[in-house]
Chains A and B, each alone.
Chain A
Amino acid sequence: MFQAPIQVPIIMPQLGESIAEATLVRLVLNPGDAVEVDADILEVETNKAVMGVTAQANGIVGEIIAEVDKSYPVGAILGYITVTDEEAKRLGISDDPEPKKSAPRKPKVELESATRVEPTIKGLPVPAHAGGASYLTPRMKARMAELGMHAADLSGIAGSGAGGRVTIEDLERFLEDIERNRITPASSMRVAVADAMRRSWTRPLATVGRSVALDKLLAHRKAQTAKPGPALYGLRALAIALGENSAPAGRLIGEKIVHPRSVDIGFAVEAEDGVLVPVIRNADQTSLADLVERYNRLVEQARARRLPAADTGGSIATITNYGTFGLTLATPIPLPEQTVLLGMGAGVVVPSWDAKAEKFIPVTEAMFTLSFDHRVLDGGAAGRLLKRVAELLNAPETL
């Protein structure tokens, strides 16, 4: 069987530390000449010396591919020596193209596969604990701080970074794009409300509601000279109910329920392009009739943006009458420092089945909603509070 003769390459040796190449000066032996180990085959010149290149195999000089007066880098193949099988064996030349190499040791830290995020086409890896799209790098945070932006402002941007991250480029492109829209400044009121709502929304919020019959309340109101606003009825009912059981207005801080100190109830008043919340202090201890004047004055002051500091802040719950906007149902957002928000819808006349008279009679009803921080209250407690409010509203003379 024909077997190709084994060629041992003649390689340009490393002839000094900073030497990268050498020039072939002459052939000491020619192709076809017999050669022994350690005999000079070629002569080369570096910038430091002229020296011989020795054969490292016994055999016949084969093809010399290097040319005289040309330079070749260290490691270049200059020619070949043809050797017998025996000689090849002696030199340890095997058929294996790749000798076995040991593998690098695995790194000590192993990332949990659960937290790994696949890199996008751009190949940016996300840190294992980065949390994907919501991760904001220090650089992003710094840029956003410059612009007065919050994470919520980025909700309109589809991030092109790994895991859906919004990158600096995404942000700058977004800002350029919105420049083409009409832009008006947001009032400081708007910005303040935005901040409050954003902070409130960091909690899990829920809303429950029930219809409350208003006929008794309306009759009671008609009989007053100084007519209390509808919201004031709701405020007093809420105050009495919380005075009986303040737990639903407690706050969850860590693993503690922080109970309210006094039943101070706020009520929402629309002012310019925002909402102000004046507060009635100790609302459980003053009767409805005695609150009318104070309430009306606070409404006026709020509307005029001249609310005294002492009459704002520190309330433990708030009431909002969205019925004045014609809304029959809403799911408003409690203040960020409060757990509950009582909402009142517009009164509607509806047919109600009178079991005694065995016929439908017209009744005025309004939807009352309780929006709450679901970490503190569940549906049951919310329902019970609403039921108590409804009871009190049906006995307006007790308010």
Chain B
Amino acid sequence: MSVKVTYLDAIREAQERALADDPRVFLYGQDIGKFGGAFKATKDLASKFPGRVLDSPLSEDAIVGMAIGAAIEGARPIIEMQFADFSTCGLNQIVNQAATLYYRTGVPCPIVVRLPSGGTPGSGPFHSQSMEALYAHYPGLIVLTPATVEDAYSMLLAAVEIDDPVIFCEHKFLYNHLKADSLPAEATPIGKARIARPGRDLTIVTYSAMVHESIAAADEIAADGFEIEVVDLRSVKPLDTDTILASVARTGRLLCVGEAFPWGGVCAEVIARVTAEGFGLLDAAPQRLNAKDTPVPYHPALWGTHRPTASAIVAAARQQLEI
């Protein structure tokens, strides 16, 4: 009997392994101790590692600031923001302290900031955000967006080993919906994107939960005789421009899909690079598909069209293929 591993299990197991393998690792965040975390991402870890899984007050600035101070003194903290949306309360410490520490002082800042990100039905404006573009904008941060159970595990482990601050954007919807047979023994290095679905006629560049929506869209369009290639970025910063360009070289068409707000998002960055470095590869103008330029609505009927879904991706892809 094989018990499936969920995306959430992967995150918990990665933290457990990090705590077991490296005495410098400790966890800090709200409700992560005995309670095991709002999403149970740290379930049982406080009892397995007494004194190293600490409950913090409701103070994102202090949580991040303390992690940075601890990192200066040689620790490797993993901190949990209860929802990505609340990380803005600690924004100053992330972008002005953690992100600048190495550049200013030469001392690296090996913290991992876990952000439960993305929307679920009914979660509303403040429990649904995708913050990767905001953090990628600031020099000095690594921003990761795992889309699979395997990547959630191996990339979190890798994040702990990186000497620089890592913003780890885990997708809440995938926590319990995504399952795998087992956890991987090996991993693709951070900074390399993955061809989630090989194709020929159109490249969809995307990340996190949108990878799955894009694959579903690609499978639907396959019935029309078009094969869509889906590129899973895995890391938003550093961005694997080489893999993206190689894919566009094969297909000549690009659609970038992201769950986040449109202005200045990851898709804008991808398209800027492809246009600048791969202009001659394009048969059609590159396009992007993002959430609408409004806060994330609460009602599932509105939320259903606010962000891209498989059917919206199908429509956008069809447009790209008709040119």
| A contacts B directly (C-beta below 8 A) | yes
Which one of B280, B282, B285 lies within 8 Å of A127 (CB-CB)? B280
Inside 8 A of A129's CB, which chain B residues have their CB? 280
The 0/1 profile, CB within 8 Å of B marked 1, for residues 114-131 of chain A is 000000000000010100
Chain A residue numbers with a CB within 8 Å of B280 are 127, 129
Query: CB-nearest residue of chain B relative to A129?
Result: B280
Min Cβ gap B97→A in Å is: 22
Binding site for A on B (CB under 8 A): 279-280, 282, 285
Kindly state the separation between the CA atoms of A138 and B285 in the bound complex, as whole angstroms.
Answer: 9
Give Cα A127–Cα B279 distance, bound, in whole angstroms. Answer: 10
Counting from the closest, the 5 A-B pairs by CB-CB distance are A129-B280, A127-B280, A138-B282, A127-B279, A138-B285
Q: Which residues of B contact A138 (CB under 8 A)?
A: 282, 285
CA of A127 to CA of B278, assembled, Å: 12
Q: Given the complex of chains A and B, what is the CA–CA distance between A127 and B282 in angstroms?
A: 15
List the B side residues contacting A127 at CB < 8 Å.
279-280
Interfacial residues of chain A within 138-156, with CB under 8 A of chain B in the complex? 138
Interface residues in A324-366 by Cβ distance below 8 A to B read none
Which partner residue on chain B sits nearest A135 by CB separation? Answer: B280
Of chain B, the residue at the smallest CB distance from A142 is B285
Complex interface residues of chain A between 84 and 133 (CB less than 8 A to chain B) = 127, 129
Please, could you name 5 A-B residue pairs with CB atoms under 8 Å apart, sorted by A?
A: A127-B279, A127-B280, A129-B280, A138-B282, A138-B285
Q: Interface residues, chain A, CB within 8 Å of chain B?
A: 127, 129, 138
Which residues from chain A contact B279 at a C-beta distance below 8 Å? Answer: 127
User: Residues of A contacting B285 with CB < 8 Å?
Assistant: 138
CA distance A127 to B280 in the complex (A): 10
**Residue of A at shortest CB range from B285?**
A138
| Closest partner residue, chain B, to A130 (CB atom) | B280
**Bound state CA distance, A138 and B252, in angstroms?**
13
Which residue of chain B has the shortest Cβ distance to A127 in the bound complex? Answer: B280
- Chain A: minimal CB distance from B228 (Å): 22
What is the CA–CA distance of A138 and B278 in the complex, to the nearest angstrom?
13
A138→B279 CA distance, assembly (Å): 10
Residues of A within 8 A of B282 (CB): 138
CA distance A181 to B279 in the complex (A): 38
Q: How far is the CB of A379 from chain B (nearest CB, A)?
A: 38
A143: min CB distance to chain B, Å: 15
Q: CA–CA, A398 to B312, complex, Å?
A: 69
Instruction: Compute how far the CA of A129 lies from the CA of B280 in the bound complex, rounded to whole angstroms.
Output: 9
How far is A50 from B285 in the complex, measured between Cα atoms in Å? Answer: 58
Q: How far is the CB of A301 from chain B (nearest CB, A)?
A: 37
Which residue in chain A gives the minimum CB-CB distance to B282?
A: A138
CA distance A129 to B277 in the complex (A): 13
Q: In the complex, what's the smallest C-beta–C-beta distance from A222 to chain B, in angstroms?
A: 59
* Separation of A127 and B276 alpha carbons in the complex (Å): 12
User: From residue A58, how far is it (CB to closest CB) to chain B in Å?
Assistant: 36
In the bound assembly, the distance between CA atoms of A129 and B282 in angstroms comes to 15
Shortest CB-to-CB span from B90 to chain A, Å, is 27
Task: For residue A126, give the distance in angstroms from its CB to the closest CB of chain B.
Answer: 12
Give complex CA distance A127, B277 in Å.
Answer: 12
Instruction: Say how far A93's CB is from chain B's closest CB, in angstroms.
Output: 33
Chain B nearest CB from A111 CB (Å) reads 14
**Closest Cβ of chain B: how far from A163's Cβ, in Å?**
15
Q: How far is the CB of A142 from chain B (nearest CB, A)?
A: 10
Tell me, in angstroms, the Cα distance from A65 to B285 when the chains sit together. 60
Chain A residue with minimal CB distance to B284?
A138
Separation of A118 and B279 alpha carbons in the complex (Å): 21
Measured in the bound complex, the distance between the Cα atoms of B256 and A138 in whole Å is 20
Shortest CB–CB separation between residue B279 and chain A, in angstroms?
8
How many Å from the CB of B245 to the closest CB on chain A? 14
Please indicate which of the listed interface residues B280, B282, B285 has the most CB atoms of chain A within 10 Å of its own CB: B280
Least Cβ–Cβ distance between A129 and chain B, in angstroms: 7
| Nearest CB on B from A185, distance (A) | 28
Expressed in whole angstroms, the Cα–Cα distance for A127 and B281 within the complex equals 13
Q: How far is the CB of B55 from chain A (nearest CB, A)?
A: 42
**Shortest distance between the CB of A46 and any CB in chain B (Å):** 28
Minimum C-beta distance from B248 to chain A (A) = 15
Q: How far is the CA of A226 from the CA of B153 in the complex (A)?
A: 87
Shortest distance from the beta carbon of A109 to any chain B beta carbon, whole Å: 10
